[in-house]
């Protein structure tokens, strides 16, 4: 397993057919995932296209994550939590100022992803809503209200995703207080 | 009022402070709205940033629509329906093939927006999840399941949005069967 240290992020190529395992080693931690077509990074993961085709906000084993060009990018082939978020954008300097005005500003997952993705020619403006692994965002169907709760993931919980095309992946150990219950922990991953 | 004919779309500049009224003249019709910063079209409306800051999926009077750079683009100042969707992407050739395999393929709101936005230097890949005015997408909070139902808008229902920066707006009269109850109708709009 490779380790993503607390409040940091990585980017790497994931060839078609490869399997990416993302593991929460200590429990109650979130990992923001982005995916781009390695041959043309203008093709990018899309929450809206995924909701279109999967017809649910709650994605788990068997669901696919789709691109803005209506192509499947990743298939979830194993999932011990089945509680992930695809509604909210990566935490950033702006979200720290907004939500944690009394705490030090951090560049957050957004800044970590922007730096990690830069060598692949991906600009900060090309960072969309991420697939937030293990993130617990309950939705009230009547009012529409959403909230960010601590993840239900326990130590060793994992998700495995198979690449359906050659991808560039961005992946973080989340930096925000609310999304991981107020602590900052690592994320582990491996490619098989 | 300007009229958007059934299954078509327009794009136009909306200066900061101007008010855009979008009206459903016949009832049960959807209008997909996109917004870009007129000075730099890489800044674009973001459902994820809007959900971050507004903390609800159900947007109405008083809510703001935010950009990928965490800046308010539009404020909803009047809304007679308070039922809009910000989860799903514009209908397209691909969604017609997927959902309506027995019906003629149409370029949909995606194709209409792509053509209308091209003169402003906006590429098809830069079309994100739209703010789908009057679109009725109930969410089951427990299962996460979503569905597309006919709009509840009646003839003359409207929403008014104030521009918080100089914008390029894309706007359609929706082309998909499910989102407007199986018929295709116009949308009216005006700028004040």
Write the pLDDT tens digit of every residue in B83-108: 999 999 999 999 999 999 899 999 99
Q: What is the rounded average pLDDT of the residues A101-123?
A: 95
- Please report the pLDDT score of residue B177 as a whole number: 86
**Residue B182 pLDDT:** 82
d(CA B112, CA B114): 6
Beta bridge partners of B76: B161
CB A47 within 8 A of CB A129: yes
DSSP B89: P
Query: Distance between CA atoms of A40 and B64, rounded to whole angstroms?
Result: 33
Residue A110 tokens, joined: 């957004």
What's the token pair of residue B153?
Answer: 């808008």
Interface of B with A (CB under 8 A): 42-44, 46-49, 51-53, 55-59, 68-70, 87-89, 92, 94-95, 98, 123, 125, 127-130, 138-147
Residue in B with minimal Cα distance to A129: B48
What is the number of domains present in chain A? 1
Residue A143 reports pLDDT greater than 90: yes
Residue A33 in this model has a pLDDT that exceeds 90: yes
- pLDDT > 90? residue A183: no
- Are the beta carbons of A85 and A132 closer than 8 angstroms? yes
| Segment-wise mean pLDDT, segments of 10 residues, chain B, 192 residues | 97 98 97 98 98 97 98 98 96 93 92 98 97 97 96 97 98 90 92 98
Q: Which position has the higher pLDDT, A175 or A160?
A: A160
Q: Using an 8 Å Cβ cutoff, are A189 and A116 in contact?
A: no
Determine the pLDDT at residue B98.
93
Are residues A42 and B123, on separate chains, in Cβ contact within 8 Å? yes
Spatial neighbors of B118 by CB under 8 A, at least 6 apart, are none
Position A37 scores a pLDDT of 98
Residue A56 to residue B129, Cβ atoms within 8 A: no
- Reported ipTM: 0.96
Q: Say what the pLDDT of residue B178 is.
A: 84
Chain B contact set for A89 (CB, 8 A): 46, 48-49, 52, 68
The arithmetic mean of pLDDT across residues A88-112, rounded, is 93
Average model confidence (pLDDT) for chain A?
96
Indicate whether B185 belongs to any domain: no
Optimal mutation site among B37, B52, B90, interface A, most CBs of chain A within 10 A: B52
B188 within domain boundaries:
no
Q: What whole-number distance in Å separates Cα of residue A9 and Cα of residue B21?
A: 43
Query: What pLDDT does A178 receive?
Result: 84
What sign does the dihedral A97-B45-B179-A65 (CA atoms) show? negative
Give the pLDDT confidence score for residue B148 in this predicted structure. Answer: 95
What gap in Å lies between CA A9 and CA A110, rounded to an integer?
A: 9
Spell out the residues 6+ positions from residue B73 whose beta carbon is closer than 8 angstroms to its own: B35, B37, B45, B64, B65, B66, B67, B163, B164, B165, B167
User: For residue range B162-192, what is the model confidence (pLDDT) as tens digits?
Assistant: 999 999 999 999 988 888 878 899 999 999 9
Quick one: closest CA in A to B51, which residue?
A88
Name the residue range of residue B146's domain.
Answer: 2-179
What integer pLDDT is reported at residue A53 of this predicted model? 97
Report the pLDDT averaged over residues A180-187.
88
Ranges of H-type helices in chain A? 47-54, 93-99, 108-117
Nearest to A85 by CA among A32, A36, A44: A32
Alpha carbons within 13 A on the beta-carbon side of A30: 31
Of A49, A53, A141, Cβ closest to residue B141: A141
pLDDT above 90: residue A181: no
């Amino acid at each position: 397993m490779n380790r993503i240290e607390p409040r940091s992020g990585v980017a790497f190529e994931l060839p078609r057919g490869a399997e990416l395992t993302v593991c929460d080693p200590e429990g109650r931690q979130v990992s923001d995932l982005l995916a781009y077509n390695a041959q043309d990074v203008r093709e990018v993961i899309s929450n809206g296209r995924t909701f279109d085709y999967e017809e649910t906000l709650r994605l788990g084993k068997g669901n696919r994550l789709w691109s803005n060009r209506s192509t499947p990018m990743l298939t979830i082939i194993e999932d011990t939590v089945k509680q992930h978020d695809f509604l909210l954008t990566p935490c950033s300097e702006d979200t720290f100022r907004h939500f944690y005005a009394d705490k030090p500003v951090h560049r957050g997952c957004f800044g970590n992803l922007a730096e990690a993705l830069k060598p692949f020619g991906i600009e900060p403006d090309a960072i969309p809503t991420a697939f937030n692994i293990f993130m617990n965002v309950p939705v009230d169907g009547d009012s529409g209200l959403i909230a960010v709760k601590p993840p239900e993931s326990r130590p060793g919980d994992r998700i495995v995703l198979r690449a359906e095309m050659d991808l560039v992946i961005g992946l973080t150990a989340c930096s925000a207080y609310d999304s991981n219950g107020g602590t900052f922990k690592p994320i582990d991953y491996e490619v098989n």
